[in-house]
Chains A and B, each alone.
Chain A
C-alpha cells in the first residue's frame, strides 16, 4: 500500500502575523515558517501505518516556492521515503488556491497510484479547509475528513472515526481514499538529528506545474487584506463582588 501526504509550508502557528500596509497580504519575509500543523499530523499517521507495515511507502508532496523543499526535508526526516516538490515562483505561489492544489494532487495520484492520500484538515494560513474534499471529488474517491482514529479493517477497507459537530462518527471506507487529519489523530514526532542527516540523502524530485499539464487558474482574486477590528481590554476588577456588579450593570446576568 502506498500513501501520499500533501504538506504545506506556512507561517509558524506561534507567530503573530502582520498585515502589509498596502493591504495586499501579510508580511512573510523574515518570518518563521514551518510545516502546517495538520499536515504534520497527517504525515505522522502515514508513517505510523508504515511502521505497522500496512503502508509500504510514504511519498510527501508539496507545491510552493523553492523554500517548500525545507518542509519536504522535514517530512523525509520524520519518516517519508521520498518527496515530490512542485516548484512555482513566489508571484505564482501567492495565487494558488485549493482547487489548483487538488488538481495537481489528482495528477500526481494518477502517476503514483497511492491507496491513501493524507492531508491536514485545513492550512492555518488561508484557513480554507477545502483541498481534501475537492481532491476526493475530483478523484471520485471516498473522503474521511477530520479523522481522529484510523484502523485497517481488511486489505481494502479502513475504519475511520471522524470528529463531527456534536461528537464523532465512525465510517468504513474502501481504498483508494482521501483522509484529512484532525488535531486528535496523533501526536507528531520530532525529527531526530540522525534522521535529519539521513533525510538529506532521500530522493526529492523537482517538478513543475507544466509537468502535470496544469496551468495557473485563479478563480478567487484577493482584493484586500486588512486587520480585523481590535478588541480593547476593559481592564481589571478587584474581586468577585465587583465582577458580579459589573455584569449586572451590563445586564448580562
Chain B
C-alpha cells in the first residue's frame, strides 16, 4: 500500500491527485534543537522525508516559538506542532517519546522520522516499541515508500531492506541527504495535543557542551583530524592550528580519544560521528575500518602519515608520506 502511495505521490504532478494522495501519506519529522537553535540535521531529515509525503514537524521543549517559526519557513513543511512543557525542557527521550506517542495516536502518521543523531536514535525506537513497529535506522537512500538502504558492518556492506512495519519509524543519516531550504515554506503552527507525563523515572541534572568557536564537525566543509600518530594532547595543537588556518572543524580517531589527546565528542567513525566534508585531512591516522566508516563519503581525503603501508592511503585521494610534526607546520606556513 505504501509503495502505491509513494508511486502516486511522485509520478503525479497534478495538484488535485497529489493532494488526495498526500492526505494519506503524512510524515512527522522530529525537530532537533538546543533550545535556541535548530540543529541542521533536522533540515536533512525534512528533505529526506519530503520524498515520503506531506510534512509535519514536531518542535518540543520550552519557549520554542522562535524555533517553531523558523521551522515553519522551511521548504516543504506544511504544519508545525508545538509541544511546550516543563518536562520537555531538557529533551529527555522518555518525555519526548511520550509526546510523539500522543501525537501519533491522534494523527496516525504513516512515517515518524528524525535525523540519525543521538537525539533521533534515542527517541524513535522508544516510540516505535509502543506501536509494535521495527524502526529502520541510519537510512542513506530511499528507494520507495517502504524500501531503504542502510549501511551495516561499519559501512562495509550496504543493506537494502523492505519494511512491513505497521507504522514506519525511520532515522536518516544527515550526510546522505541535502538539507531542505530554510525559506520558501509556509507551515501552519499549532499546539500539539496535551500529553500527560506521569513517568518520573528520569531527571535531568546537568550538561557539558564545550563550545569551540570552530565549525561543527557534522556541518563543516573542511575537517582536520588527528590520530594516535599526533603523539600527545600537547602536540594536538598543531591540528587545531591547521584547522584554524582552513576554517575547519577538528576531528579525531578513536585511538586519539582513547589516548586522552582530545575529548570523545570529536571522535569520527562507526561509533563516533559520520562526516562527509568537501575536504578531510587525516593526520597521523592509520585508517582502521571503524574510522574509514565515518569518512568515506568525504569528497577529497588527504592523508599525512609516515607509514606508507597505513590503510588510510588505500582510500586517500592525496597521500603524503611524511613526519606529521614537520609536514603540518610546513603546511600551515604554505597555506
CB pair B153 A11 closer than 8 Å: yes
Whether B104 sits at the interface, judged by CB under 8 Å, is no
* Most B CB within 10 A of own CB, among A135, A141, A232, A240: A240
- Which A residues touch B203, using CB under 8 A? 171-173
Q: How many cross-chain pairs have Cβ atoms below 8 Å apart between A and B?
A: 242
CB pair A170 B201 closer than 8 Å: no
Whether B270 sits at the interface, judged by CB under 8 Å, is yes
Whether B78 sits at the interface, judged by CB under 8 Å, is no
CB proximity to B under 8 Å, residues A187-240:
219-228, 231-237, 239-240
Known contacts A98-B125, A134-B126; is A223 also within 8 Å of B160 by CB? yes
- Which A residues touch B138, using CB under 8 A? 127-129
Q: Mark B191-231, 1 if CB is under 8 A from A, else 0.
A: 00000000111111111111000001010001000000000
- Which B residues touch A93, using CB under 8 A? none
Which residue in B94, B264, B314 is a CB contact (below 8 Å) of A142?
A: B94
Which residue in B134, B137, B158, B321 is a CB contact (below 8 Å) of A225?
A: B158
Whether B327 sits at the interface, judged by CB under 8 Å, is yes
Q: In the complex, A17 Cα to B151 Cα: how many Å?
A: 13
CB pair A221 B164 closer than 8 Å: yes
CB pair A170 B152 closer than 8 Å: no
Whether B142 sits at the interface, judged by CB under 8 Å, is no
Which residue in A134, A167, A225 is a CB contact (below 8 Å) of B209?
A: A167
Q: Which of B8-16, B18-26, B81-89, B115-123 contacts A (4 or more CB under 8 A)?
A: B115-123
CB pair A130 B271 closer than 8 Å: no
Q: Which of A64-72, A77-85, A118-126 contacts B (4 or more CB under 8 A)?
A: A118-126
Which residue in A121, A166, A219, A231 is a CB contact (below 8 Å) of B134?
A: A219
CB pair B322 A240 closer than 8 Å: yes
Chain B residue nearest to A176 (CB atoms) is B201
Q: Which of A45-53, A55-63, A107-115, A244-252 contacts B (4 or more CB under 8 A)?
A: A244-252
Known contacts A166-B265, A171-B203; is A128 also within 8 Å of B271 by CB? no
CB pair A97 B134 closer than 8 Å: yes
CB pair A183 B254 closer than 8 Å: yes
14 contacts between A and B (CB under 8 A): A26-B153, A140-B199, A165-B218, A167-B207, A223-B147, A223-B160, A223-B161, A224-B160, A227-B158, A228-B151, A237-B320, A243-B318, A243-B331, A247-B300
CB proximity to A under 8 Å, residues B225-281:
246, 254, 264-265, 270-271, 273, 278-279
Q: In the complex, A244 Cα to B156 Cα: how many Å?
A: 31
- Which B residues touch A128, using CB under 8 A? 137-138
Q: In the complex, A233 Cα to B320 Cα: how many Å?
A: 12
CB pair A235 B158 closer than 8 Å: no
- Which B residues touch A172, using CB under 8 A? 202-203, 205
CB pair A137 B130 closer than 8 Å: yes
| Count of B interface residues, CB-CB < 8 Å | 90
Whether A7 sits at the interface, judged by CB under 8 Å, is no
Q: How far is the CB of A93 from chain B (nearest CB, A)?
A: 15
Whether B129 sits at the interface, judged by CB under 8 Å, is yes
Which residue in A166, A183, A236, A247 is a CB contact (below 8 Å) of B321?
A: A236
Which residue in B151, B156, B205, B327 is a CB contact (below 8 Å) of A159?
A: B205
Which residue in A102, A127, A247, A253 is a CB contact (below 8 Å) of B153?
A: A127
Which residue in A19, A99, A223, A231 is a CB contact (below 8 Å) of B162?
A: A223
Which A positions have Cβ atoms within 8 angstroms of B? Answer: 11, 13, 16-17, 19, 26, 38, 97-99, 102, 121-122, 124-130, 133-138, 140-146, 148, 159, 163-174, 177, 183-184, 219-228, 231-237, 239-241, 243-244, 246-247, 250, 252-253
Q: In the complex, A184 Cα to B265 Cα: how many Å?
A: 11
- Which B residues touch A246, using CB under 8 A? 318
Chain B residue nearest to A133 (CB atoms) is B125
Chain B residue nearest to A174 (CB atoms) is B201
Main secondary structure of the interface of A (DSSP, over half): mixed
Which residue in A228, A240, A250 is a CB contact (below 8 Å) of B157?
A: A228
CB pair B201 A177 closer than 8 Å: yes
* Most A CB within 10 A of own CB, among B156, B273, B327, B330: B156
CB pair B157 A219 closer than 8 Å: no
CB pair B158 A143 closer than 8 Å: no
CB pair B152 A125 closer than 8 Å: yes
- Which A residues touch B159, using CB under 8 A? 222, 224-225
CB pair A124 B154 closer than 8 Å: yes
Whether B145 sits at the interface, judged by CB under 8 Å, is no
CB pair B265 A231 closer than 8 Å: no
- Which B residues touch A247, using CB under 8 A? 279, 300, 302, 318
CB pair B209 A252 closer than 8 Å: no
Q: How far is the CB of B231 from chain A (nearest CB, A)?
A: 19
CB pair B137 A234 closer than 8 Å: no
Q: How far is the CB of B6 from chain A (nearest CB, A)?
A: 16
CB pair B122 A133 closer than 8 Å: yes
Q: In the complex, A122 Cα to B121 Cα: how many Å?
A: 11
Q: How far is the CB of A27 from chain B (nearest CB, A)?
A: 10
CB pair A170 B316 closer than 8 Å: no
Whether B335 sits at the interface, judged by CB under 8 Å, is yes
Q: In the complex, A234 Cα to B39 Cα: how many Å?
A: 35
Whether B1 sits at the interface, judged by CB under 8 Å, is no
- Which B residues touch A165, using CB under 8 A? 39, 117-119, 218, 265, 273
- Which A residues touch B321, using CB under 8 A? 236
Q: How far is the CB of A156 from chain B (nearest CB, A)?
A: 10
- Which A residues touch B129, using CB under 8 A? 99, 102, 133-138
Q: In the complex, A237 Cα to B317 Cα: how many Å?
A: 10
